[in-house]
Structure 1
Amino acid sequence: MWRFGMCLGALWILSSCSYSGINHTNGLGWQDVSLPENINSTAKWELIDEVSDNFNYVGKTAEFYDKWHDNHIRGWKGPGATYFSAQHSALENGLLVLSASAVPEPQQGKPADYGGFKSKKTIYTGFVTAKRNIEYPIFVEASMKISSLALASNFWMLSDDDKYEIDVTETYGDTDYNAKQMSTNYHIFKRDPGTNDYLEDYGHKAKHYQTPDKALLNKDFHRFGFYWKSPKHMEFYLDGKLVRVLSTETDLTDPDGHFFDRPLRIIFDMEDHVWRAKKGITPSLEQLDDPSKNKMYVDWTRAYRPVSSN
């Protein structure tokens, strides 16, 4: 099920070493971080170099652009007040850094109507998209530190037809309660075949999970993982621990019967969500201008596929 052929990198067979911490690895990446035990025990796994990255670049180099689009692939500006901007992503000290800031009034454009709620584009955020799609079976994981804003810090995947979406984490950092919650979700959208406008969502079954010590996900790096075993079976992981099984035996439904049968594209971004903005939950200008709050960090992301059963 692989669109882009065999892996160009080396064959990495995961050891049984344990991961002793969740701090930034200072450029060392995932090499000493084993896969979740129940994943690692089922097969030998091969690193997919094309969609794995330590982000050890000095600025946005050609190597970075070989793997990543520095915005949405078709120019979508973002939901509600969100305004995706390539100027709001950066590579610093072995990290992908996505930031948020206020959009100057002349650049905000005309208000858009969201069911009676009108919003201009008032918040710039970073948005980075993988250039190569992934397909099952695959395990993907990212080490991230979310922002401390009322924006969603996101590690997610979307099909190129915009119909199938997996949210590995969509986590808000504006309160301690929210910052403890890894939110997972999926969407299967019905869209207008002519305009691609959203008509219905067959999914949208969010669930939330915490680390055993209820750590704040905006205070340190944590691992968010996703095992796409088949179109009808997926698993979510937090710091290597299984927290959710999404399958036709649990919450997964698709009236069209396709389920997650098509390639997806990995995305990192931050978003201001309309349903929260309607409640007045959105960053203030002071918060958007605070560098201790307005940044989301990705230490690394990795992807593996099984090459043989154990």
Structure 2
Amino acid sequence: MKIIKILFSLFLTTMMACSSSGSDVEDAISDNNDNNPLEETWITIPVPANSGPGKKWEFQKNISDNFEYDSPANNKGATFLDKWDDWYHNAWTGPEPTIFSREHSFVTNNELNITAGRPIGTNNTNTGIVTSTNRVIYPVYIEARVKIMNSTLANAVWLLSPDDTQEIDIVEAYGGDRFTNPWFGPKRVHLSHHVFIRQPFQDWQPNDEGSFYTDGQTVWRNDFHRYGVYWKDPWNLEYYIDGKLVRTRSGVAQIDPQDFTNGTGLSKEMDIIISAEDQTWRANQGLSPTNVEIENTANNTFKIDWIRVFKPIDN
């Protein structure tokens, strides 16, 4: 259920005045007044990041999605397929024992659902994954309101360059109680990035405690939360949860200390990916969902209320 609704006539008037690439959120908010207040919506919730001197945030309508339509698993329809492919961004089928499945993603009740299941007689885990049809590039703020699975599976909203060499994890989480080390428990969410060399394969990512964020008490699977990243430029990332800045990474030493990007940092266009995975390294530790666990569909459903994208433009 959406957290907030709007007085539709005023909202539609604002949207009709927008260009095809987006709408000016700050103008929409400024139209509000005490006599006829607008409720905050997925668009008009203030962007928590600072757009910069002389800048304001512009909503990117062509990439953002509030999933207020139906899109069955076996017939996604034009509205969904205009913004998403129900697959990974290349032919890869997933990390063993995961097998990506188009049948495990669908939109219903105004939410994108990413689910998991296991074909009878196998040890495979089928999971849903979707990839944006449009790419993003810095400077950009991306935020998703999601509810983490109560499962050993990984849930993630992330960005990945087409050549698989640069990645930003807006949120990666393991919501179940069954885990083998405290960094991957239900009170932590992974806020990170990767830089890769494909041949021979090398992967660098931060391993500081801050990359496994916790406020000490929240069990993230229990409710919807907003997870956002401001990809400010190739050398600066800001991570936000529920509108609060919780993590920053800045400079060569914190972005690419081994120079895997040849001095360019996080500079490539990236696809937006929303997924669940039975990751190989966890499966090898006995952390695949059991047959009994995976039969609980509710516990193995990653819910996405909306995802929104903003660019800073001249004010």
Q: TM-score per shorter chain, which class?
A: 0.7 to 0.9
SS at match of 2:293: helix
Say whether 1:281 aligns with 2:287: yes
Which residue among 43, 57, 76 is the counterpart of 1:45?
57
Is the counterpart of residue 184 in structure 1 residue 187 in structure 2?
Answer: no
Aligned to 1:173: 175
Paired residues for 1:220-299 under 5 Å? 220-248=223-251, 251-253=254-256, 254-255=258-259, 256-299=262-305
Percent identical pairs in the alignment equals 34
Determine the structure 1 residue equivalent to 2:86.
70
Structure 1 runs (4+) deviating above 2 angstroms are 6-12, 38-43, 202-206
2: distance between equivalents of 1:132 and 1:172?
A: 27
More displaced 10-residue stretch of structure 1: 272-281 or 170-179: 170-179
Q: Please tell me whether residue 93 in structure 1 is matched to residue 109 in structure 2.
A: yes
Q: TM-score, normalised by structure 1?
A: 0.82
The one-letter amino acid of 1:188's match is V
Per the alignment, residue 131 of structure 1 pairs with 133
Aligned-pair CA distance for 1:204: 4.7
User: Over aligned residues, Cα RMSD in angstroms?
Assistant: 2.4
* Residue 47 of structure 2 is aligned to residue 35 of structure 1: yes
CA distance in 2, matches of 1:125, 1:97: 11
Partner Cα distance (1:132, 1:270) in 2: 21
Check the 8 A contact 1:80/1:274 in 2, yes or no. Answer: yes
Tell me which residue corresponds to 1:117: none
What is the SS of the residue equivalent to 1:251?
Answer: helix
Contact 2:135 2:272 in 1 (8 A): yes
Report the counterpart of residue 3 of structure 2 in structure 1.
Answer: none
Q: How far did residue 10 of structure 1 move? A: 2.9
SS at match of 1:62: helix
| Structure with greater helix share of residues | 2
Mapped partners of 2:239, 2:308: distance in 1: 15
2:213 aligned partner: 209
Which residue identity is paired with 1:12?
V
Shift of 1:7: 5.0
What residue is the counterpart of 2:69 in the other structure? Answer: 57
Q: Which amino acid aligns with 1:305?
A: K
Q: d(CA) in 2 for partners of 1:272 and 1:236?
A: 25
How many angstroms apart in 2 are the aligned matches of 1:200 and 1:153?
23
Residue identity opposite 2:159 in structure 1: M
Check conservation: 2:22, 2:58, Cα contact below 8 A. Answer: no
Residues 89, 162 of structure 2: 8 Å contact kept = no
TM-score after normalising by structure 2: 0.81
Structure 1: gaps spanning 5 or more residues: 1-5, 17-24, 109-119, 193-197
Query: What are the superposed Cα offsets for residues 51-109 of structure 1, whole Å, 9 maximum, x if unpaired?
Result: 1000111223201100001111222111121111110001011000000001334xx6x
Separation in 2, partners of 1:128, 1:48: 19
Indicate conservation of the 8 Å contact 2:145/2:306, yes or no: yes
Give the match for residue 21 of structure 1.
none
Q: Is the 8 A contact 1:143 1:222 kept in 2?
A: yes
- Whole-angstrom CA distance in 1 between matches of 2:269 and 2:120: 37
Q: State how far apart, in whole Å, the 2-side matches of 1:269 and 1:104 are.
A: 22
Structure 2 match to 1:149: 151
Deviation of residue 32 (structure 1)?
A: 4.2
Question: Given the superposition, is the C-alpha separation of residues 170 and 306 from structure 1 closer, same or farther in structure 2, using an over 3 Å criterion?
Answer: same
Where do 5+ consecutive residues of structure 2 fail to align? 1-18, 31-38
Aligned to 1:11: 24
